[in-house]
Structure 1
Amino acid sequence: MVGVLLTGTLLAVLNLTMLSPALPAIMADLGVDATTAQWLTSVYALVEAVVIPLSAYLVGRFTTRQLFVTSLSVFTAGSFLAAIAPNFWVLLLGRILQAACTGAVMPMVFTVILLVFPREKRGTAMGVIGLIIGFAPAVGPSLSGLLVDSVGWRALFAIVTALGVVVVVLAFFLLHNYGNFARTTFDKLSVALSTVGLVCLLYGLSTFASTTNMALTLALIVVGVVLVALYVRRQLKLPEPMLNVRILKTRPYATAACVIIIVQASLLGTEVITPLYIQGTLGFTATMSGVAMLPGAVIGAFTGLVSGRLFDRFGVRKVAVPGVLVAVLGASGLARLGIDANFITVVLTYTTLVIGLQFTMTPLNTWGVNSLDNRVIQHAQGLSNTMNQVAGSFGTAVLVSVSALSPMVAPEAPAFEQAYLGEHMAYCTTFGLMCVAALVIIFLVRDRKGVAAAGAEAAGEEPADYSAGISGVTVDGTADESFDESRVYRAVDVMNREPVCARDTDTMAAVIRLMDVSQTSGVPVVNEAGDLVGFVSDGDVAAYLGRAEISLTDAMLNTYRYVDDEAEMTRLRELAALNVMNVATRRVISVAWDTPVDEVCSLFAAKRIKKVPVVRDGKLVGALSRRNIIRSLAEGIELLEK
């Protein structure tokens, strides 16, 4: 069942990313210019953003099987229509059908996949799914270039059609209805304002360089801006807004959102310009244009993971600043490419740009979301998704429109030189955008003092505060020496030297009994050698036993909620049989035995936790709680008074 859902999702993502290298061939075959052809890319993201609000209504009204089979059937029909398209407008209609179905079914697919896996394996499952989905942008352009050169651009849609038929047949026989999704309403006026506003704004921006009626184009842009502004105003007045735009008042989140918009626009716009430059100016094949973009896509997919881990360790500034400087370097290299540039040079500069952008986006997004209250995280994800999709469409439209200005700049130049000049101007625009992003990051992005980056945030997830609510152990340690004003007191001086702990081979039934007997709300987990390998709290137990209510937000709407109605005793029976490491947090906040007490206090305040394990050479030697510190302070005050 998961395989069918994931295959359909992978097909949709692959279909989005494999079109760019085919644009020059489509332009030549159907007789359209680059400004018009880019709509095949822009319209996909735009229509998906417009349709996503409807997914809430669709998921609540139709069953899993009905919605998935119907959506994939229409998606397949759109692919077939694009494969046989006699002109550009039929091809565009096929892309619109594909995008509409993707926007309708994707939220449901991810929610069902999340619910199918047991609680203790959902994080791993979603990580694997994310890696599989992220692989599509890496192979899409190369596969597209090979097919365009060997068979023709229509083969792209023919293959997607055939695969779509296979997925629909498999879904018909293997897919079952899963989950009881509540019906969700949405504000119709908000949807209308956002839909019409975005379409007017993007269409006006896209046709700015090639329009024969500038007054109409400017009017569309103005109307789009006004309608989007009215949409934002309505969200501010609704008691339950579809999208909580008030979170933009939080400065770190607003800063991160602005930079990511610039970065996303630059990345997707450059992905469209680069194949045009490689094939049209340098004279290479579509296959070679796909090969040129492959290293950046592959390395970029893993760069996001690396930058997340670096963010966990060093914070946002030490990762984002070098990342954006690398992006500026790559963009400057693209802006310096000549009319006869070497292919390897193009590959290296494009890859440098992509690596820098990936190093910038992940830490910035996490830093921005971390600045918000947990209650509005879902709105942050929805707003970010909307802005990213629109930014991609805008970036493509802007760079292609800039490239189309070359006949105005050099009307006497040959067509070949005009094409190069347009692409050069687009690359210079990318360089300018990267410089703006770099300045914003350098002057406005700061790590919060005393706050280390939390674990799991690189994946865009809420960090697990596994120590929250812990009240401490029952036996308090005491200092082993008399009080001295000049002495630096360390964790070892005030910690509990006989901490209650569990073994990594214990079942949760044994751990729960241990927590009850020792009257502690959380225990470290050690292996046979005494190494600290995890931490389990009563909060982890409650999270497993609690009735799960999952809410996913995509683009402009809180899409839908699912309530897990599994029987309480069934959940308890499953929990009791689990190994403790299936529930325990493995990324444990701990302190070394010689950490000064004032640093431990700063850690407690910054992380809002009450207890940490104390380690020496990786082995558990004690536990330190707020109660230990208060007791030590009380004894110190008594000595001072004497």
Structure 2
Amino acid sequence: MTNIGTLPEQEIKRGPITVALIIGAFVAILNETFLNIALADLMRTFHVSATTVQWLATAYMLVVGILMPATALISGWLTTRQMFLSAMSFFLIGTIICGFSANFGFLLLGRVVQAIGSGLLLPVMMNTILLIYPPEKRGGAMGMIGLVIMFAPAIGPTLSGLIISVLSWRWLFFLVLPLAVFSILFAMVYLKNVSEVTRPKVEIPSILLSTIGFGGLVYGLGAGAQNGGIGMIFLIVGLAALLVFVWRQLTIAEPILDLRAFKYPMFSLATVILILVMMTLFSTMILLPLYMQKALLLTSFSAGLILLPGGLINGLLSPAMGRVFDKFGPRWLVIPGLFIMSAVIWLFSRLTASESPLYIVILYSVLLIGMAMVMMPVSTTGLNELPKDLYPHGTAIMNTLQQVSGGIGTALFVSIMVSGQQGYLRKVSDPTAPGQLLSALVSGMNRAFMVAMIVAIASFILSLFLKRTHAPKEERAEG
């Protein structure tokens, strides 16, 4: 196996490799948001309750949360091509199972298989970009990835709403199949091996602790909204397992997740900022659709259309932000970006039940402009500081913690919103009046956004300490 350190420069065709990775990521991430709008149809088709149908989302998060920490180990055993093609093959098989599901159980199985593919895909994509691009050119490449990561979920709800209006929910999967097949065929031709197979020791106790820890944490957050007692038990068990997992990774010779990455200050700072930003983003992604459908009484398709311009703007700006990052570093982007995000979320906290859809379009678009200035510059800054042997571990750590923080954000802000609703209704004389119910929803949402604003401000303060990073000296000399 030839690694990037010994591969002649003329053999490194970065463009086709990057395109192969982007196509796969677009297909996988697009399909994640496709299903959200179809949940009502699936409840009717399979005669299941809302509590049951939510497992299509919870199980997905659970599998990805469990798999992420192991990606650094897996990348040591599989070549770049093997890992990418395996990920896309899992995703393709899962999509076929979903599309032809005769009952809810098979649909859930298909989602789990899809999640295995998605869980492998993002780490291999980021790790490959780190290997094939020098630090001074990574911003632009990461910006292209940012385009996909934000563009795909932005158009997902709108496209799925359109498809469901003319076809059945199965076509949400059937229409993805040709794209997945094309991604695999394109990668087979153009994707080259750029990582080194090191065959690290398979540490079974660490894998079990990681599975119990991250799985318990994500499942506990998902179950907590339905059953607080069970959710709390899983959270406690998950946190205990994680503490033992961290201790073990620090004391064994070959950890599956090398926590030495946290010895690099900008990586640690960037990771914390990303956790807070992801919590903020998920608060918006969960609260705004609820507000638009329950307070403004818009349809799912209309709500998807309102969110579309922001996602498109974010996607189009991400490559440009990457080039600005390469030239000027992170501070000129991240600090104003987080200030913009904090200001917009403050405006969200002051929404009423009679706002115009155009106002929501403008606010959400400005929010995602700020997001485009933050996500990839922060990620690249943190990862640039790491030596090559820690790239897989750094990407696995970042992706795992972002996944978990997204789950925490969803559970936290929905809980705050519900608590705010209940608090409002306790103070009124007739809590069953339709007007009071609407006011309670808006009041609860405003309270949740106020907490989200505090989280955003915390990330803004931390960004003031962010500095431009460079690869270790010996690796710059190699480049």
TM score, norm. by length of structure 1: 0.59
Shift of 1:99: 0.8
In structure 1, distance between residues paired with 2:420 and 2:49 = 13
How far the C-alpha of 1:208 sits from its partner, in A, is: 2.3
Say if 1:432 and 1:313 are closer, same or farther in 2 by CA, change over 3 A.
farther
Partner of 1:263: 277
Q: Which moved more, 1:361-370 or 1:97-106?
A: 361-370
Residues 324 and 88 of structure 1: is their aligned pair in 2 closer, same or farther, counting only changes over 3 Å? farther
**What is the rounded CA distance, in whole Å, between the counterparts of 1:161 and 1:83 in structure 2?**
9
| Alignment partners' CA distance in 1, 2:353 and 2:102 | 34
| Residues 339, 460 of structure 2: 8 Å contact kept | no
Q: 1:361 to 1:52 in 2, by over 3 A?
A: closer
Q: Is 2:447 the counterpart of 1:428?
A: yes
Q: Percent identity?
A: 31
Q: Are the structure 2 counterparts of residues 111 and 398 from structure 1 closer, same or farther at C-alpha, using a change threshold of 3 Å?
A: closer
CA positional deviation for 1:101 = 2.1
286, 291, 304: which one aligns with 2:300: 286
Cα–Cα, structure 1 residues 244 and 48, in superposed 2: closer, same or farther, change >3 Å? Answer: same
Q: Offset of 1:74 from its aligned partner?
A: 3.9
Q: Which residue of 2 aligns with 1:231?
A: 245
The 10-residue stretch of structure 1 (89-98 or 363-372) with the greater mean CA deviation from structure 2? 363-372
Deviation at 1:201, TM superposition (A): 1.8
- Which residue of 127, 145, 148 corresponds with 1:133? 148
Partner of 1:564: none
1:327 aligns to 2:341 (yes or no): yes
Structure 1 residue 302: deviation in Å?
4.2
Counterpart-to-counterpart distance in 1, 2:460 and 2:97: 45
Matched-pair contact (CA < 8 Å) for 1:277–1:420: no
State the distance in 2 between where 1:321 and 1:166 align.
39
Cα offset for 1:276? 3.3
Residue of structure 1 in register with 2:12 after alignment: none
1: distance between equivalents of 2:63 and 2:285?
19
Cα–Cα, structure 1 residues 306 and 326, in superposed 2: closer, same or farther, change >3 Å?
Answer: same
Higher RCO, 1 or 2 (CA under 8 Å, sep at least 6)? 2
Q: What are the superposed Cα offsets for residues 431-480 of structure 1, whole Å, 9 maximum, x if unpaired?
A: 313323314533x54458xxxx65xx6xxxx5697997xxxxxxxxxxxx
Answering whether residue 122 of structure 2 is matched by residue 97 of structure 1, we say no
**Contact 1:202/1:393 (CA < 8 Å) preserved in 2?**
yes
Say if 2:216 and 2:238, in contact at 8 Å, map to a contact too: yes
- Select 2:28's aligned residue among 12, 21, 38: 12
Distance of aligned partners of 1:436 and 1:401 in 2 relative to their CA distance in 1, 3 Å threshold: closer
Task: Tell me the TM-score normalized by structure 2.
Answer: 0.76
| C-alpha distance after superposition, 1:26-68 (max 9, x if no partner) | 5666676777655544543442242245556666667877766
Equivalents in 2 of 1:185, 1:162: separation in Å?
Answer: 37
Q: How far apart are the structure 2 equivalents of 1:113 and 1:377?
A: 10
Report what 2:223 is aligned to.
207
1:343 CA drift (Å):
1.0
Query: Which amino acid in structure 2 is aligned with residue 145 of structure 1?
Result: G
Matches within 5 A, 1:143-158: 143-158=159-174
1:142 maps to a residue whose letter is: T
Matched, 1:241 2:278: no
Distance 1:161 1:378, change over 3 A: closer
What is the root-mean-square deviation in Å for CA atoms of aligned residues? Answer: 4.4
- Give the match's secondary structure for 1:210: coil
- Give the Cα separation in 2 of the matches to 1:274 and 1:185: 45
**Structure-1 separation of matches of 2:39 and 2:45:** 10
For residues 434 and 252 of structure 2, the distance between their equivalents in structure 1, rounded to whole angstroms, comes to 53
Distance 2:328 2:188 in 1: 50
Bigger strand share: 1
Alignment-mate amino acid for residue 438 of structure 1: I
Give, in angstroms, the shift of residue 218 of structure 1.
1.8
SS at match of 1:348: helix
Mapped contact 1:35–1:206 kept (Cα < 8 A): no
CA contact (8 A) 1:208 1:217 kept: yes
* Structure 1 unaligned regions, length at least 5: 469-538, 544-642
Deviation at 1:383, TM superposition (A): 1.9
The aligned residue for residue 213 of structure 2 is: 197
Would the aligned equivalents of 1:327 and 1:356 in 2 still touch at CA under 8 Å?
yes
Q: Deviations over 1:139-165 (max 9, x none)?
A: 323322322333344321232245445
- Looking at structure 2, the residues matched to 65 and 372 of structure 1 have their Cα atoms a distance apart, in angstroms, of 23
The whole-number CA distance in structure 2 between the counterparts of 1:317 and 1:287 is 38
State how far apart, in whole Å, the 2-side matches of 1:69 and 1:313 are: 34
Partner of 1:441: 460
Q: 1:23 to 1:330 in 2, by over 3 A?
A: farther
Q: Name the SS for the 1:337 alignment partner.
A: coil
> Which secondary structure does the structure 1 equivalent of 2:248 belong to?
helix
| Cα displacement (A) at 1:264 | 0.5
- Alpha-carbon distance between aligned partners in 2 of 1:164 and 1:174, rounded to the nearest angstrom: 15
Deviations 1:172-216 (A, max 9, x none): 9868995774433332212211211122222222232332xx433
Provide the C-alpha distance between the structure 1 equivalents of 2:327 and 2:125, rounded to a whole number of angstroms: 33
Q: Are the equivalent residues in 2 in contact too, given 1:114–1:126 (CA < 8 A)?
A: no
Specify whether residues 247 and 299 from structure 1 end up closer, same or farther in structure 2 by C-alpha distance, changes over 3 A only: same
Which residue number corresponds to residue 186 of structure 1? 202
Q: Which residue of 2 aligns with 1:630?
A: none
Task: For 2:128 and 2:113, locate their aligned partners in 1 and report how far apart those are by CA, in whole Å.
Answer: 23
Counterpart in the other structure of 1:83: 99
Structure showing greater Rg: 1
CA contact 1:323–1:360 (8 Å) conserved in 2: yes
SS at match of 2:212: helix
Q: Tell me what 1:627 maps to.
A: none
Q: Using a 3 Å threshold, how does the CA distance of structure 1 residues 130 and 258 change in structure 2: closer, same or farther?
A: closer
Please list the CA deviations of residues 343-370 of structure 1 after superposition, one character each: whole Å capped at 9, or x if unmatched: 1122122223222333344454455556
- The correspondence of residues 525-604 of structure 1 with structure 2, limited to 5 A, is 539=477, 543=479
Aligned to 1:222, which of 225, 236, 259?
A: 236
CA offset at residue 261 of structure 1? 0.8
Deviation for aligned residue 1:289: 1.8
1:589 matched residue in structure 2: none
Q: How much does 1:137 deviate?
A: 3.2
AA in 2 matched with 1:93:
L
Is the Cα contact below 8 Å between 1:46 and 1:389 reproduced in 2? no
User: Secondary structure at 1:207's aligned position in 2?
Assistant: helix
Q: CA deviation at 1:21?
A: 4.0
Q: Secondary structure at the match of 1:189?
A: helix
SS in 1 for 2:373: helix
Equivalent in the alignment of 2:11: none
Moved more, 216-225 or 395-404: 395-404
* 8 Å contact kept, 2:140–2:322: no
User: 2:261 and 2:133 mapped to 1: Cα distance?
Assistant: 33
Q: Report deviation, 1:12.
A: 1.2
